[in-house]
A = this chain, B = another copy of it.
Amino acid sequence: MELAYHFRDASLAALALTHRSAGKPNNERMEFLGDALLGAIVAEMLYETHPKATEGEMSRLRSQLVNGQALAGLARELELGDRLKLGSGELKSGGFRRDSILADAFEALVAAVYLDGGFDACRDTVRTLFADRVAALPRSSKDAKTRLQEWLQAHGWPLPQYELVGTEGEDHARIFDVNCVVNEPMVITAAGRGSSRRLAEQDAAELVLNRLLEPLDG
């Protein structure tokens, strides 16, 4: 696979492929910018392809696509390893094969395209590289209640309870408030709402699921 972009300034591409072991300047600063651009461009792809996914689902899908191992895979497809500039220590120890070094170079290369050709060029390049991977994602995921139930069963936890807490508004525009409660092994409660009881339950289940799945720094 080749990068569908031709650099006007080849020195930007070269810098993107220069690992810190080769001294300064190197690709570390570009990697910071590329990581952020990649996050935004893939976020937009998921926003378009998964119109019903919640924020939490899109976030999880993105971390399936954008993580060290996945980016290293893309770097290998682009054969970046052969073009990396490494210090002699990393060369000897085979640094050109290491996931973290490859993933960083890939991110830096995304920034290099942005700096060389602007956002549209960068976006086109990233979208081309990720098109197949995004297309391979489950299109419409199981609903939140089902996913929560499966998670709880897989972990040997009892099933949640859904409690209708109240309703709001006139008959034709009623809003339902539902709590989803997991009691054991720890108490987790979330308040959902929606235009039907079912939608409110899905909403509450999604929130509980997010708490169970998301890293603590969330």
Contact = CB atoms under 8 A, between A and B. Distances in A.
Nearest to A52: B29
Nearest to A195: B23
Nearest to A175: B23
A94 interface: no
A201 interface: no
Contacts of A120: 119
Interface string A113-152: 0100001100100000000000000000000000000000
A188 B215 CA distance: 25
Copies of this chain, whole number: 2
Given A23-B193, A24-B199, A193-B87, A53 B29 contact: yes
A59 interface: yes
A4 interface: no
A59 B119 CA distance: 21
A33 interface: yes
A164 B204 CA distance: 57
A58 interface: yes
Contacts of A33: 40, 43-44, 47
Q: Of residues A23, A31, A33, A199, which shows the largest number of chain B Cβ atoms within 10 Å of its Cβ?
A: A23
Nearest to A165: B89
Interface of A: 20-21, 23-24, 28-29, 31-33, 35-37, 39-40, 43-44, 47, 53-55, 58-59, 87-89, 114, 119-120, 123, 168, 175, 177, 193-195, 199, 203, 215, 217
